[in-house]
Amino acid sequence: MKINYILKLVLIFFISTNINAQNWYLNQVLIGSGGVFGDLDNHVTISSYDTDSDSTSTFGSILTQSIQDIIIVDNYAFIAAQDSIAKYDIDSYERLSITGAIGVNKLHVANDKLVASFQYPEIDNFIKIYDADNLDLISSISEVSGESAGLTSIDNFIYAAVNGGWAGTVGKIAIIDIQDLSFIQEVNLDSLGKGIKDLFVHDNQVVSVNASPWGGTTGHISVIDQYGSTSNSYMIPATIGSLVGIKNNMIYTVMNNGIGSIDMETMTIVDESVIDQPPLTISCAKLDTLNNQFYVSTTDYSSMGEGTIFDLNGFQIGSYTAGISPDAMALDYRDNSNINEAELYLTNIYPNPASSKINVQTQIDDVKSVIVVDNLGRIIYENSGSNYRNLISIDISSFNSGIYTLRLTNNVGVSSSKFIKQ
């Protein structure tokens, strides 16, 4: 006990004297553009917007005509583009690998596996699992009943939005075990789930944004528990589209062709027009929760596209080059801490940012203690005395929004990494 107490004091001192040098920052914004709709010679491009220099540079292209998704894991970007999945090193901007994936839609990484959802022209195997390192196909989940969209995860469960495509009349959420790659079940949300599009995790529950059908005037938000045993859907009296982001119990979505906000506690609209409808169609928008800014890409899909930066009050504060048909975007957060500590092979914290739970994936199985400190160096979570295995889950739902440092200890030393609580 005395040794543990001394270790704790050393950690507190070390953290307190170094915490000011540890900062998260937005390193770059990745923008994927599909080019002119219908022009077979106009291919997908991937660009980086540097927030410091306020400049945009194109670093990659994929010889196809549309882009569906970009996600960032560590220093790598995974791109879903119509018939391909590509992986880039976003420090060197080198394309590391690419694989054919006709009908690919959305992407998610968990347990070193890349999960991809599929839509038309795929007619079965709507969820596929790849090796995140080399993009080799590992498994196809044939039991998923229809075209699929957004993905998320809790612990060892993957959740997929199953919308059945543009003609789908119901929405479902498929649950898959990422460890043994087995299909568990589909939760049927019936007609209230129609248009199910994006998923995220909140308070150990899976929340879906169900976009309004063409010509419709309402949408829905659905919630299921971790195991799919309960579900609830809430009508939103506005046209809603893609998820933009989550911050402080507020859901931001495309709403009435602009951007609006929904209170997660009451599932009611707070502001229908945080950002008013722009002159061009919103093709993709992301909330930068670190700097409280919206990045909004708009286009006419034929001749022009624009990128505009807004603050949380909807005031325009900047712009960036978006390209034509800029349908995908991702925010690259980095930690500029240079602390030299014993290596514990801390490989991944996901999701990050997170609202309810983080999963910590390590390459060792002898972690003795887990400590979380806030930006003032205060220990707000501690669990010791257990021999943790390769995946550690921590409930952060009670934490205030902000940046936290996770510290793991074993017989070798101490290792740290940071995460953001939304």
pLDDT mean over 264-280: 97
Q: Which two tokens mark 22?
A: 């540890």
Share of the chain above pLDDT 70, in %: 87
Assign 226 to helix, strand or coil: coil
pLDDT score of 4: 42
Query: pLDDT tens for residues 106-162?
Result: 999 998 999 999 999 999 999 999 999 999 999 999 999 999 999 999 989 999 999
Beta strands in 248-396 (DSSP E): 250-255, 258-263, 268-275, 281-288, 293-299, 305-311, 316-320, 328-335, 346-350, 357-362, 367-373, 379-388, 391-395
DSSP code of 191?
G
List 316's β-bridge partners, or say none: 310
Query: pLDDT tens for residues 236-263?
Result: 999 999 999 999 899 999 999 999 999 9
Residue 228 reports pLDDT greater than 80: yes
Q: Which two tokens mark 170?
A: 């119901």
Radius of gyration, CA atoms only, the chain: 21
pLDDT mean over 302-321: 96
CA gap 141, 183 in Å, rounded: 7
Contact 136, 173 (CB under 8 A): no
Confidence of residue 5 (pLDDT cuts 50, 70, 90): very low
Query: pLDDT tens for residues 347-375?
Result: 578 888 888 888 887 765 567 788 888 76
CA gap 29, 11 in Å, rounded: 34
Specify the pTM.
0.79
- The sign of the dihedral angle between the CA atoms of 43, 324, 25, 415 is negative
